Chain A
Amino acid sequence: MILPELSRSMLKNSLVLGLFAVATVGGVTLLQQLTAERIHASERAAQLRALNEILPHGSYDNQLLDSSIEVHDPLIGTRQPLAAYIARKDGKPSAVILQAIAPDGYSGAIRLLVGIRADGQIAGVRVVDHHETPGLGDKIELAKSPWIQSFEGKSLSDPDEAGWAVKKDRGTFDQFAGATITPRAVVAAVHRALQYFDAHKAELLGAEGHPAAPGELLEDASEPAAVTTHSRAGDAATRDDLKADEPMHEGGDAR
């Protein structure tokens, strides 16, 4: 009989495949558990480096990562709350670092940090995470090209409304050879972040942030829930949103 033979081999094959699936998924899960902490630390260290690049040491004297408020607005690309970091010098707010998402990158969302001084000028912009084409769109990284520095010192009025675009769209910002979509998305996202800052200036700069007093920094750092809440990623959010929402106290921000 052919049929029982066939069903026996089918049973055997599916069992083998099932075992393979269990074994490989098990292996990956194990490694994921083992590396999760380390990956989290690497991501946080990278983000901290980015924050310190935008606001150089000396331009603020508070613990940046512990002084955040949650903001969310379509203008910064998300309805999910994202941390905005408030820099203070001598007790006065000197700058805000907003997290902004450009949803319209060439290969998905581009996550940015936009530092805006209290007077509305851009202190600096850095790309935190992107999936742009290597060699083309990745020139938005400072490591690949100084392009991202062209935002420094710009504000809502300089250049004017029409100037906030890439040159191809009659604006003032360069695009890269071979990639227009990426810089276009970044320029638009930075522009929107500026508009958001302008509309919520009082709220952002007046905010006390967490923790309120410098003396409480260390105590508050041990209570992550008091600083920000962990929000699950929503429609516009990627898996990376999760880590960005989380408070980052440990290590690094010792200045």
Chain B
Amino acid sequence: MSNPSYRELAINGLWKNNPALVQLLGLCPLLGVSNSTVNALGLGLATALVLVCSNIGVSLVRGVTSTAVRLPAFVMIIAALTTCIELLMQAYTYELYQVLGIFIPLITTNCVILGRADGFAARHTPLVAAFDGLMMGLGFALVLVVLGGLRELFGTGALFANMHLLFGPVADNWQITVFSDYKGFLLAILPPGAFIVLGLLIALKNRIDQRIAERAKALQPEAPAQSRRVRVTGVIE
């Protein structure tokens, strides 16, 4: 398979083939910890890190593993990396580790990671695979943070509470109270809020895509060469 360009990989991971908004993979942690920005950012970064490392690892051993033992070998790599991240978080961000709890080991079961390992990293060189992992991871983390931020904002009326869990004492004053005297909107914090806000985000993304497509169509008669480029349909590699 020919190597896709870095630009293509970035667009794919962050937008066109976004793991959370388009592929809808890894929803369990996505919905579980997106109740505040700090939780979302912590798990998003951890997932992205595991994704980058696992893509590199899988890409490095792609010649060694035969089809029969491919998946168990990949799972072993991913599980080991996740355990390493868990240990590191326990050592350096102990309180955040306590908050995220079971969702850190659950990174292992995040389908985005195995999906990228098997579907992409196993067929590309380490550098390309690492970049793909980074972009997919960032795409996932970005959606997670936006979701966490929105839920925190609607649920509590504030943003960036408890950021010191991740960044230490520097972040003690990062909390922004957007609505003072806000009673809180529990639905946004509870699990249904996660589904609703994620649904709205997906709808927003589709609407934006539609707009882009419409504009491209309107331009078509004048600039056919340009429009052909825009109309590449998403291929899941």
Q: Which A residues lie at the B interface, using CB under 8 A?
A: 9, 12-14, 16-17, 20-21, 24-25, 27-28, 31-32, 35, 38-39, 42-43, 45-46, 107, 129, 131-132, 134-136, 138, 143, 177-178
Q: Which B residues lie at the A interface, using CB under 8 A?
A: 32-33, 35, 39, 61, 64-66, 68-69, 72-73, 76-77, 79-80, 83-84, 87-88, 90-92, 94-95, 98-103, 162, 186, 189-191
Report the Cα distance A134→B99, complex, angstroms: 7
In the bound complex, do residue A24 and residue B101 qualify as a contact, i.e. CB atoms below 8 Å apart?
no
In the bound complex, do residue B191 and residue A35 qualify as a contact, i.e. CB atoms below 8 Å apart?
no
Report the Cα distance A107→B88, complex, angstroms: 24
Report the Cα distance A150→B232, complex, angstroms: 59
- A135 with B80, Cβ < 8 A, contacts A16-B73, A17-B72, A42-B91 known: no
Can you spell out 25 A-B residue pairs with CB atoms less than 8 angstroms apart? A12-B66, A16-B65, A17-B73, A20-B61, A20-B72, A24-B76, A24-B77, A24-B79, A25-B80, A27-B84, A28-B84, A35-B87, A38-B91, A39-B87, A42-B92, A46-B94, A107-B102, A129-B98, A131-B102, A134-B39, A135-B33, A135-B35, A135-B189, A138-B101, A178-B190
A252 to chain B, nearest CB (A): 14
In the bound complex, do residue B35 and residue A28 qualify as a contact, i.e. CB atoms below 8 Å apart?
no
Q: Which chain A residue shows the least CB distance to B151? A: A135
Q: Which residues of chain A have C-beta atoms less than 8 A from B80's C-beta?
A: 24-25, 27-28
In the bound complex, do residue B76 and residue A21 qualify as a contact, i.e. CB atoms below 8 Å apart?
yes
Report the Cα distance A35→B94, complex, angstroms: 12
What 17 additional pairs, Cβ within 8 angstroms, besides A20-B77, A27-B84, A134-B32?
Answer: A12-B66, A13-B68, A17-B72, A21-B76, A25-B80, A31-B83, A31-B84, A31-B87, A38-B91, A39-B94, A129-B98, A131-B102, A134-B33, A134-B99, A134-B100, A135-B190, A143-B99
